[in-house]
């Protein structure tokens, strides 16, 4: 069963957000949980796709009221 982890990075320093995202990306590669991340930094939106490119992680990005919502989910690979 997938668990949805909601993580609020709003108003944290960019460096702290990047470190947390690196941890999440490493974690999602090893578990089946989904992540919903909130940030107010556009640079994070530009950073994530290059980091998940070869890790079989799906991403959905949306924005509302100056807040970015990023959904990360491990891609299911049929064997």
pLDDT tens digits, one per residue of 23-54: 999 998 788 889 999 999 999 999 999 999 88
pLDDT tens digits, one per residue of 59-77: 999 999 999 999 999 887 6
pTM: 0.88
Phi, psi of 58 (to 5 degrees): -85, 150
Type and span of the H or E element at 58: strand 57-64
Half-sphere exposure of 18 (CA within 13 A, CB side): 10
Delineate the domains of the chain, giving CATH numbers in brackets: 4-74 (3.30.110.40)
Q: Contact at 8 Å (CB) between 11 and 40?
A: yes
Q: Mean pLDDT across the stretch 8-30?
A: 94
Q: Contact at 8 Å (CB) between 70 and 51?
A: no
């Amino acid at each position: 069963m997938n668990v949805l982890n909601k993580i609020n990075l709003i108003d944290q320093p960019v460096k702290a957000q990047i470190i947390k995202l690196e941890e999440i990306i490493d974690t999602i590669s090893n578990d089946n949980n989904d992540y919903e991340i909130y940030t107010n930094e556009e640079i994070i939106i530009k950073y994530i796709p290059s980091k998940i490119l070869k890790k079989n992680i799906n991403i959905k990005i949306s924005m509302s009221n100056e807040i970015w919502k990023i959904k990360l989910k491990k891609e299911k690979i049929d064997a």
